[in-house]
Amino acid sequence: MEGFTITTADAGENRVVVALTGELDLATADTLWAELEGRIAQNKVVVLDCSRLTFMDSSGLRVLLLAIRKAETVGGRFAVAAIGADVKRAITLSGMSDHVPQHPDVAAALADTSPAGH
Amino acid sequence: MPQNTVPQTPPDPDRVPKAVPVVLSVPADKTYVVLIRSTASHLGARLGFTVAEISDLRLAVDEACGLLLIPEGFELTGDELECRFTEADGELRFVVSALANQGAAPDTGGFGWSVLAALVDGLVWSYDHGRMHVELVKRHVSKEN
């Protein structure tokens, strides 16, 4: 079983990439929110790299929605990259897909120049 | 052949004891839900569930446990979470329960409940003898025909 890890990397121009590994669930969601809340406050763009995330439940979805709201509040942008169909099942089934900005990979998420959260 | 390779025997539902449930009692703590997901995966594989079905089953038991472990409007009154898996005719029944205060009810208006309801073939909750229960049924799709 792979433990949950969060690795944050500077992508320049006030942008950061927060990469996750393992399982995002009710036990790990608070840790992610603690990381994202500060990063969103300090950066214009925060991209969540989910390419190595293997599980996400509605606790994870709640964190994504908090992150989107926080980014809107501070005039920044938050986006999700490289999330697998299996992993985003909770987002899809909750009907929140259209509310979570998603990109096929980190490069596309960083390159997106659309307004905050839209 | 490498020595650590064990031949895999295809699951034979007819050989699974049907009447004896698998019961897992864990501390009522969020960090133990991973154990319950693992158990669900194993039992789903035994029943011949597809990879997608096992994935949905794992998410479903996780969400069911979350309804008790992240209480909205009630409090658990004990330290233990009981999970009971019962196999029957190509379906897996899962009941998670915990001691909770009188009148406890899951948050049926939240994301957890709506995701859970979309994942399973049956979903009910109940409160009796001081315990709140959430019960779900996940069916193996090839058994529906």
- Return d(Cα B10, Cα A97) in angstroms, integer: 37
In the predicted model, is pLDDT for residue B24 greater than 50? yes
Please answer yes or no on whether A26 and B115 come within 8 Å at the CB atom: no
Q: For B113-145, how does the pLDDT look when each residue is reduced to its tens digit (9 = 90+)?
A: 999 999 999 999 999 999 999 999 999 886 544
pLDDT for residue B9: 57
Q: For B28-86, how does the pLDDT look when each residue is reduced to its tens digit (9 = 90+)?
A: 999 999 999 999 999 999 999 999 999 999 999 999 999 999 988 899 999 999 999 99
pLDDT for residue B12: 60
In the predicted model, is pLDDT for residue B1 greater than 50? no
Of the candidates A58, A62, A96, the beta carbon closest to that of B63 is on A58
What phi and psi, each to the nearest 5 degrees, are found at residue B58?
Answer: -60, -45
Whether residue A22 lies within 8 A of chain B, CB to CB, comes out as no
Please answer yes or no on whether B37 and A96 come within 8 Å at the CB atom: no
Q: Pick B49 or B5 by higher pLDDT.
A: B49
Q: For B92-114, how does the pLDDT look when each residue is reduced to its tens digit (9 = 90+)?
A: 999 999 999 998 999 999 999 99
Please answer yes or no on whether B55 and A86 come within 8 Å at the CB atom: yes
Interface pTM, i.e. ipTM: 0.92
pLDDT for residue A48: 98
Please answer yes or no on whether B112 and A23 come within 8 Å at the CB atom: no
What phi and psi, each to the nearest 5 degrees, are found at residue A96?
Answer: -100, 10
Which residue ranges of chain A lie beneath pLDDT 50?
116-118
The whole-angstrom distance between B54's CA and the closest CA on chain A is 11
Q: Locate tokens 């009796």: which residue?
A: B128
Interface-testing mutation among A24, A28, A31, A58, with chain B (most B C-beta atoms within 10 A): A58
Binning pLDDT at 50, 70 and 90, where does residue B90 land? confident
In the predicted model, is pLDDT for residue B5 greater than 70? no
Interface-testing mutation among B31, B36, B115, with chain A (most A C-beta atoms within 10 A): B115
pLDDT for residue B73: 86
Interface-testing mutation among B26, B59, B68, with chain A (most A C-beta atoms within 10 A): B59
Dihedral-angle region of residue B117 (phi above 0 means left; psi in -120 to 50 means alpha; beta otherwise) = alpha
Binning pLDDT at 50, 70 and 90, where does residue B18 land? low
DSSP assignment of A3-70, as one string?
PPEEEEEEEETTEEEEEEEEEESTTTHHHHHHHHHHHHHH-SEEEEEEEEEEEE-HHHHHHHHHHHHH
